[in-house]
Structure 1
Amino acid sequence: MTTQTPEEPETAPRRDRDLDRIAAHRGTADQVRALRTAFMDRHADDIYDRLTDGRSARPRIAELVAAAADTFPALVPPAGPAEPRSARAGREIDQGVFLRGVLRSPVAGGHLLTSMLQPTERALRLLPQFLRTGVLETASVRLERRDGVAHLTMCRDDCLNAEDNLQVDDMETAVDLALLDPAVRVGVLRGGTMTHPRYRGRRVFSAGINLKALHAGEISLVDFLLRRELGYISKLVRGVLVERDDSWRSATVEKPWVAAVDTFAIGGGCQLLLVFDHVIAGADAYVSLPAAQEGIIPGVSNLRLGRVAGARLARRVVLGGRRIRATEPDARLLIDEVVEPDGIDAAVERAADALRAPAVVPNRRMLNLAEEPLDAFRSYAAEFALQQALRLHADDVSDKAARFTGAAPAASS
């Protein structure tokens, strides 16, 4: 009887033959992706273990994809020089196939989701300074600690806080710092004051995805769409993963969060509200999720919105693009407290004080566990990785983004 060594698992010969078959295949893109899908269904855990040294390493999603492209180019084709639009589209769809396979596995997928809860290197580098000063200024987010409350202010007044790769990086850094700072008890997220002519002098929560960046090819599947969901938004729900003496109590550090909506929360802004513990809105504000009209999938909202607002309203919002004003009865399903615009500051202070109670954190942990178990999130994220990759590069999405920016629609790839 032959004994397999850890370096040569029993599945390795079959895996390598399958990879050779994929590399040699000269069929259509659909045929090759069908082979890759079948390969990941059989070998996801083995491939993931190869890329993470038996799960002893914890790469973030971008690092995992880069390692896969380097180690298994037949599975995840690497980027070429001066990559044209059509090549980038195909590469990101192939990344979606790979990541769906990883996330479908409870072993590999669970490990990746947990790895994404680690603080970023940027946040760890900035932490000593933030602990001293209580202030962080980035291009798109200002973070300030005041009386035990971390105030995160989105300040991209050039685009009404529309999200792009830069804002996702800044937001994750700020969320990490708020969670890592032991002096912070509660986090608050609010939009900053705008200079846009239509909203000059007013706060705006978020205009959703940055369509100009989308049209310019600056919205990526891994660094924006997946990092956003598996990174800072997941940390808002589950906390940040840290090593400490009392980690037997919980592997993560969690804190309660308040969101305050001025003017509107569109698209990704509305998605954020679904993970907050207390949502305040001005009486003149509204929320919407126009994802179907934009042609993309609204993050994890299709998992969360029905739970929060009910299946029928979720379909009207996601599929029909219904806009909900803060004063409508249906808004009570999404917003906890509606106040006059000049009363938001006081409402935020009251909510933050209420969430300081010692039993809030363990109770929110149990609520989140009941409402969104990690395996449910993992299963959703697996399919989202592929379907969003397909929608990101669909012709109708490119054409809509081009119309928004006034550019000519992109030619079909």
Structure 2
Amino acid sequence: MTAISDLILKDRKIAYVVSDEQLKVVAAGGADELFKSANVWPILGRSLLEISPELIGAEESLTDILAGRLPSFELMWVNRNGPKDEPRYFELTTMPHQNYSGQIDGLIHIWQDVTQLGEINQQFAQHRNEMWLLQRELDSKNEALAASNAELQQLANLKSMFVSFAAHELGSPLTSMIGYIDLLLEGAYGPLSDSQTQSLKVVARSIGRLRAITNNLLVATRIETGHLEAVLQVTNLLDLIEDVVAEYQPQVAAKSQQLVVEIPEKELPPVLCDTTLAAQIVGNLVSNASKYTRREGRITVGVGVRPGEEGFLEVSVADTGIGIPPAEYDQLFKRFSRLSTANQVNAAGTGLGLYITQSLVELHGGRIWFESDEQQGSTFFVTFPIAENDN
């Protein structure tokens, strides 16, 4: 090769070695200083395998190249120390060397310094190994997590079965108890004194609260297990609201509260809902409003078409109660979540009411949200889909 070619090869950190058919070095050039660090200088006349021990074991391939049976042979990521004992990486390619008549008379071995690429490849391999180890660790943790989840699911199923069974078994005796108390209060077994009447009313209220708790537990269990279905029918929502309000008047009257329904000016279209579940939605909101409102407070139930949501009727339940602390907004619709301020108004409950209400609203395809000012009151909103007009 010419001096110019050697300069170009040196600049690109490429060296070449030419060996004859006996694998003796007959020429070298380019960045031949690559071999000086291997203590094999000078290299002319020496055995190829002596200056390139990386080729030991590849003699058969070299013979095939000399015989024309193999076009080339490559070794990637050959590692050698540089002049300062720094690690270096090379790509070694061996090809046939031809004389002027085109006959193969030896081999040419091209060394290219790929240290930078080799370092990147080494880092990549290291990261790949680290990722593999992390993946194994993650897979192991996922397996353990899956096993734990399966165990938790089994426990959750057992819990749901127990709660459902317990609530169901409590229902019958509670119904019998309230029936006999009603008979006593009606005088079926003789007249009662004022103190006896008041005591029985206290017992009746306690049984009523216990029935509400068992009913909530049953509904929550059906929601969790996906066994709660809505039987939708065309319903006059205002009539349903007035029935619910009438049912809860005794509860609010016991706290000297006002419970009113704002009658809309225009006639409202019917909605599509499960009347039992819709009554529970409105009832839960009214009951909550009463619980978290002090004596002589006011609860207002409204109904109408919400602007921008013409396909739904909106029910609102506003109170003048203690409001909701902003820090507890995110917890409000979670199971067994109760306000930290509940003791201010002696509000009893299990913390299931709003969780159940949200689930029932979503079962109807509606949504629920609220607005609140602490110590000023809250307003809860729910929507029900308007029944399509077949005409």
Q: When the two structures are superposed, what TM-score results if normalisation uses the length of structure 1?
A: 0.23
Which has a greater percent of helix?
1
Structure (1 or 2) with the larger CA radius of gyration: 2
